[in-house]
Every structure is written in C-alpha cells, then in structure tokens.
A and B are shown apart, each in its own frame.
Chain A
C-alpha cells in the first residue's frame, strides 16, 4: 500500500473537517508518536526551515499542551490547548487555539486510532466553533478540489493569455 495516498481531508456536517491517514504501525506506536514530546518534535514540523523548540504535553484530562515552532529567519508560531479526553492507544480529545488564529475562536480536535491487520487509521476531526470558521478553513483549500482549482487559477494568473475557464468553487 502507498500510505501517503491514504491521506484525505474532507468536510463533515456543518462545522467539521475530517482528516484521515493510514500508517503501517500498531495503534500503540502511533499513540506514542502523537503524545510523547520527544517524538512529536520529530515529525510535527511543517514546511522546511521550521523547528519545534517547545513541545510540552501534560497528558491527562484537564492537562495542557503547548507547541511553539520557530523558523530559521526568526519567525515564531505557537498554539496550545487542553486535553478533554484520553483513552490510551485509542482516542484523544483536545481543544486547539493558535496564538494568532486565522479563524475565529478555538477548535475541538478528536483523534481516533483504529488498528487493523497491522495498520492504524488515524482520524482527526476538527470541530470549529462556528460554521463560518469551518468554511473559512475549508475554502482555504484543504479540500483537494478547491486546492486544485486554486492551482489552476494560479497557473492562469501566471500566464499572459486571457483566462477563460476557471472554477474557483469546489
């Protein structure tokens, strides 16, 4: 299986965005990689040039976590939240808020791990505080269709020929 091709982002209901991905590992390993600061720092890095100097996780209900990313050029980005539910190797519910949020309010993140035949499906549901916030995130191109549309639009904008058939909507 090509695991990178199992990556999906799609809307659900009015205020949710669901991200899924299959990993070739047991649920307990994936759970550790998601919750052990030493391990999180190794993969949750974003685009090239960013590192994660701060990764604090107090893994208990009511416990807080805080992530800070730093770019080589000095820029910083940070977010954090509180754990609402923790079921080891199975399920995590936490709030999420960026220090400089580009969508209103905070989001509630539910992460579930389902292991089958040695693979684990990670499903991360992001529940936005409002439908508007959800739409803003989605229209930002997280949906493949929209992202592809934007790509096409970008191509057209780069070319000097008059654009004819562009679809910006999904």
Chain B
C-alpha cells in the first residue's frame, strides 16, 4: 500500500535528528562517523537512526573498501515531496469548491428567503 509506505516515511522524518541526517545526505553520501559528528549523541544512537531511515527506504548503505557509506534514496524523498504538496493542494481545492458552492447557496437564499434547511 502506498499509504503504508508513506506512513513509514513520515514516521522516519518525524524526528529532528533524522531530518538533519537526511539534510546532510542531500549533499552526498557520508560515513557513519561523518554523520555522527554534528550531534552530541553517541555513534550508537546515530546508527539506530540510520537503521530507522534505512527501514523506511529513505537511505541505503554502500560499502566502499573498508568504509560504510550512507546515501539517500531519492525516489523515496521525491514520493514524500509529491504527496506533501498534494495534501495542501487538496485542501486548497476543496475550500475553493466550497467558495463556489457558498456563492450559489447565497443566490438561492436570496430567491427563496425561507429556504428549508
């Protein structure tokens, strides 16, 4: 289900540390050490966040020699961006249709002052 998939993505991005990690990865792959550097939390805690992001398919791990790199999976992020913008637009459109409907209701009311409700 697309909905479940997005749910996991949103849950993964609901944490500020994980959002910072994703933010950092937008400028290219990084090692766990590099990702942990800006935070005052342990590398173990960062690894936990990375596992969460990986399970939500937001990042992937790659091995280059002895180094373990983390990289973004742009397809997942793109899906979120699309959905998020869609949500706002849905409500904008709903309310716009409501504007139109209310105009029509106002006109009907003028013609029939005792409109039954």
Q: How many A-B residue pairs have CB under 8 A?
A: 140
Q: Which residues of A approach B to under 8 Å, CB–CB?
A: 3-4, 7, 9, 19, 21, 23-25, 28-30, 32-33, 36, 39, 42-47, 100-103, 132, 135-142, 144, 146-147, 150-151, 153-154, 156-158, 162-164, 166-169
CB 8 Å contact bits of B1-31 with A (1 = contact, 0 = none): 1011011001101101001101100111000
Are A3 and B83 CB-contacts (below 8 A) given A132-B14, A164-B27, A166-B27? no
The contact sample of 26 A-B pairs, CB cut-off 8 A, is A4-B99, A7-B95, A23-B98, A24-B99, A25-B103, A25-B105, A28-B117, A29-B105, A29-B106, A30-B102, A43-B95, A46-B94, A100-B3, A101-B3, A102-B7, A138-B14, A139-B10, A139-B13, A141-B83, A142-B84, A147-B84, A147-B85, A151-B85, A163-B26, A168-B19, A169-B20
- In the complex, the chain A residue whose C-beta lies closest to that of B15 is A135
Complex contact B93–A47 (CB within 8 A): yes
Q: Which residues of A contact B88 (CB under 8 A)?
A: 9, 141-142, 144, 147
One of A136, A142, A163 near B14 (C-beta < 8 A) = A136
Alpha-carbon separation in the docked complex, A56 to B84 (Å): 28
Q: Which residues of A contact B16 (CB under 8 A)?
A: 169
Residue on A with the closest CB to B90? A46
Does A154 lie within 8 Å of B82, measured CB to CB? yes
Q: Which residues of B contact A (CB under 8 A)?
A: 1, 3-4, 6-7, 10-11, 13-14, 16, 19-20, 22-23, 26-28, 74, 77-78, 80-103, 105-106, 109, 117
- CB < 8 Å: which of A19, A28, A42, A168 contacts B101? A42
> Distance (Å) between the CB of A65 and the closest chain B CB?
16
CB distance from B8 to the nearest CB of A (A): 9
Given contacts A102-B4, A136-B14, A164-B27, contact A25 B81 (CB under 8 A): no
- Which residues in B have their C-beta under 8 angstroms from that of A3? 99
| B87 contacts A142, C-beta separation under 8 Å | yes
Select from chain B the residue with minimum beta-carbon distance to A25: B102
In the complex, A163 Cα to B3 Cα: how many Å?
Answer: 28
What is the CB-to-nearest-CB distance from B117 to chain A, in angstroms, rounded to a whole number? 6
Q: Which residue of B lies closest to A141 (CB)?
A: B84
A132 vs B12: C-alpha distance in the bound complex, in angstroms? 11
- Quick check: A167 and B92 within 8 Å, CB to CB? no
Which residue of the partner chain A has the closest CB to B9?
A140
Q: Specify which of B22, B91, B96 is in contact with A19 (CB 8 Å cutoff).
A: B91
What is the chain B residue whose CB lies nearest that of A98? B3
Contact A21 to B97, CB < 8 A, known contacts A9-B88, A139-B10? no
